[in-house]
Amino acid sequence: MVPLPPPTTPTTKREELNELFVAFLGSRQVYFQPDDKIHISYPAIVYEMDNQDVIYADNRPHRRIDRYQVTIIDRNPDVPASRLVENFPMCTFSRAFASEGLNHRIYSLYF
């Protein structure tokens, strides 16, 4: 059996964001657009791309900025990882709710 190559450095902005979330959480329980078959362990960060802002110049797309919906889920009602995400530039709090003993904090984040 051939050994797997070592982890590579992030090559996309989304991969960079994923690694920042892993560092904030202190675990790999970070999920990008997970499907229903994934078993999520908590605390966790679940995020998905939900919009893209485009800046035009000369009637052509000049720059695109992806917006992500970031949900931090924790049994702890204070949701400690949320403090780190809140410090991102261009991050806004959307809402909070509790469901099935889990606390959710949802943010919109341009990255």
Q: What is the pLDDT of residues 55-80, one digit of tens each?
A: 999 999 988 899 999 999 999 999 98
Closest CA to 47 of 26, 10, 16, 75: 16
Q: What integer pLDDT is reported at residue 4 of this predicted model?
A: 47
In the predicted model, what is the mean pLDDT of residues 28-36? 95
Strand 102-110 and strand 60-74: pairing?
antiparallel
Per-residue b or e along 39-67, where b marks 16 or more CB atoms closer than 10 Å to that residue's CB: eeeebbbbbeeeeeeeeeeeeeeeeeebb
pLDDT tops 70 at residue 8: no
In the predicted model, what is the mean pLDDT of residues 7-18? 84
Q: How confident is the model at residue 11 (pLDDT cuts 50, 70, 90)?
A: confident
